Amino acid sequence: MASAFPLVRDVAGLKAGRFDLLVIGGGIYGAWTAYDAALRGLSVALVEKTDWGCGTSQSSSKLIHGGLRYLEHYELRLVRHALAERRVLSEIAPHLVRPLNFRVPVWSYSRVGRMQLLAGLTLYDFLATGKQPVPRYKSFSRVQMEAAHPYLAKPGLKGGLRYGDCQEDDARMTMVVVAAAQAAGAVCANGVAAQSLIEHEGRVVGARLLDDERGESFELRAGVTVNAAGPWARALTASALGETAPAVKLVKGVHLVLPAVPGLEDAFLLTAPQDGRVFFVIPWQHRTLVGTTEAAILDPRETVVTEAESAYLLAAVNTLLPGLGWTEADVIGRFAGARTLQAEDADSLSAQTREFVVSQPRPGLIWPIGGKYTTGRCDAADIVDHVLAMLGRPIRESLSHRYPLPGAPGGLHEDSARHSAMLGDFTGWQAEAMAALRARGLAADIARSLSLRHGTRVARIHALLDEQPAWAARLLDDAPLIEAEVVLAVREEGARSLEDVVRRRLPLSLIARPGAWQQRVAKLMEAAAA
């Protein structure tokens, strides 16, 4: 079996022969599809035009969650489906998927009252079958909420509730799933764009690809092609499908990055007073994410945060959490992502279904539509079932839920052919890993961050610090990211550009304004490649 890391850009492997499956698009859906198919014994090629997770999969709310707000629109199947995946992902990737509590304050003027919330959270916990990584909901009085969160708006505050979901780093997790696909036998390459689909006698039989490093085009033949390019999928299929292309709707979601709230470990689920839309305030990477607000768009190029959207989110936060006193000057960063949903007439974008469908617009071609980051793994299993049917192969059981992702303790390790589906005690492993990092003189927050970002691959961090002890230095004074991680990103994680490193391998460009750190990262990248 191949190694998960270093992540290889294997263009030569793409050119070497015909594949059972070509997956176009290196977001979370493309990554899980390639991994699942490779585990089931198919020969798989996975290509991404820019970098792994560089589209929608780097611009989510960084959550693995059931979608509490979907209960309001009676999407019980979707919520149950997502809660089951929350459990699976926390088991196979405990270093990447971590529990996060959410507080839901209730005011006298709240659109959703306390009794309705209690009913919803009771149902939410009921739908979360099996052993879950988070506690059941809990109720708090007004006094308790004010004491814990003095910045809450006090007039009309009646109390609040707490429930659990999970958090992750979306771009990093996507990269790790790609690495898992490589370890399972998939041939992967970023910087390889699909220019057009190849057809023969009415069937899609592959695609014409462009290697951006050499500027060379070549054809790749495959029994089935999955167009997992998300918002960019229609552009690829326009000439081949024309009016027969599936009807889809593009929806933009935006987030702001603001300073950390001192002492805040829980997130908030809030309802915007302007129009009743749900949004989050989430501690993440020693900063705070605020979002999302959604808008329909016609073209992926419209996926930007407007001044009006930024003002809307700030106004909502300042009405409900006025003690924070945030202004536009406090905004560290902004990001937006677009998702492709089924086209339907809904009363609002929040009522628009997120249900996943596998579209087959042409023989040999699959176009997945809908879904969400949390359910990418099991939706990919559905995609591969359709691939096997198209190939005329017997349906084999999906295995991606059985094996821990690279970096998970007790899982498949790149230095051994041995694997185990049993995870070990992550808490115990993490305590030992952090102690070893602390023994090197690293601060506690850095040791914790390294253990969660890299899991068992902290062994590679140790090796890099043996090579150059100076790489233990922080990249930012107020964040636990270190120089060695830049070197690792270039040498072993497939990063090719400055943006690959500072946006996706490390979230530097999200949590810091432009500054001298950028030149420092660029010099580290040069040293790593030397």
Tally Cβ neighbours within 10 Å of residue 241. 18
pLDDT given at position 423: 46
Banded pLDDT at 95 (limits 50, 70, 90): very high
- Over the chain, what is the mean pLDDT? 93
CA atoms within 13 A on the CB side of 298: 0
d(CA 513, CA 507): 12
Quote the distance between the C-alpha of residue 149 and its chain's center.
Answer: 29
Q: What domains are defined for the chain?
A: 11-57+171-245+354-391 (3.50.50.60), 248-342 (3.30.9.10), 426-529 (no CATH)
β-pairing verdict for 187-190 and 192-200: unpaired
Asked if residue 340 lies in contact with residue 368, where contact means CB atoms within 8 angstroms, the answer is no
**What would the pLDDT profile of 401-413 be if each residue is shown by its tens digit?**
999 999 999 754 3
Residue 144 has pLDDT above 50, yes or no: yes
Q: What angle do CA 254, 255, 259 make, to 5 degrees?
A: 165
469: helix, strand or coil: helix
pLDDT for 246: 80
Q: Is the pLDDT of residue 449 over 60?
A: yes
Q: Specify the pLDDT at position 348.
A: 53
Percent of the chain past pLDDT 70, that is, above it, reads 94
Q: What is the pTM of this model?
A: 0.95
* Per-residue pLDDT at 352 exceeds 70: no
Would you state the torsion angle of the CA atoms of residues 419, 181, 483, 445, taken in this order, to the nearest 10 degrees?
A: -60
Whether the predicted pLDDT of 257 surpasses 70: yes
486, pLDDT greater than 50: yes
3-state helix, strand, coil split of the chain in percent (to 5) is 40, 25, 35
Q: What is the pLDDT of residue 243?
A: 64
Torsion angle in degrees (nearest 10) through CA of 23, 25, 28, 34? 20
CA distances in angstroms from 181 to 33, 99, 400, listed in the order given? 9, 25, 10
Q: What pLDDT score was predicted for residue 239? A: 67
Assess whether pLDDT exceeds 80 at residue 392: yes
The string of pLDDT tens digits covering residues 14-36 is 999 889 999 999 999 999 999 99
- Give the model's confidence band at 421: pLDDT under 50 very low, under 70 low, under 90 confident, else very high: very low
* pLDDT higher than threshold 70 for residue 1: no
For the segment 41-57, the average pLDDT, to the nearest whole number, is 97
Query: Per residue in 463-493, is it b (16+ CB within 10 Å) or e — as a string?
Result: ebbeeeeebbebbeeebbbbbbbbbbbbbbb
How would residue 416 be classed by pLDDT, with cut points 50, 70 and 90?
A: very low
Label residue 470 by pLDDT band (50, 70, 90): very high
pLDDT band (50, 70, 90) for residue 73: confident
Structure tokens given for 428: 């115990």
Asked whether residue 347 carries a pLDDT value surpassing 60, the answer given is no
Strands 138-141 and 157-167: antiparallel
Query: Would you state the pLDDT for residue 417?
Result: 34
Q: Which helix (H) or strand (E) holds 147?
A: helix 142-148
How far is CA 15 from each of CA 43, 44, 210, 469, rounded to the nearest angstrom?
13, 12, 11, 41
pLDDT of residue 400: 97
Confidence of residue 418 (pLDDT cuts 50, 70, 90): very low
Q: Which has the closest alpha carbon to 448: 436, 430, 460?
A: 430
Q: What is the Cα 15 distance to its own chain's centre? A: 29
pLDDT digit string (tens) for 183-235? 999 999 999 999 999 999 999 999 999 999 999 999 999 999 999 999 999 88
458: pLDDT strictly greater than 90: yes
288, 276, 292, 275: which is closest to 373 by C-alpha?
292
Q: What is the pLDDT of residues 276-312, one digit of tens each?
A: 999 999 999 999 999 988 899 999 999 999 999 999 9
Q: Which two tokens stand for residue 168?
A: 């992750």
The answer on pLDDT for 463 being more than 60 is: yes
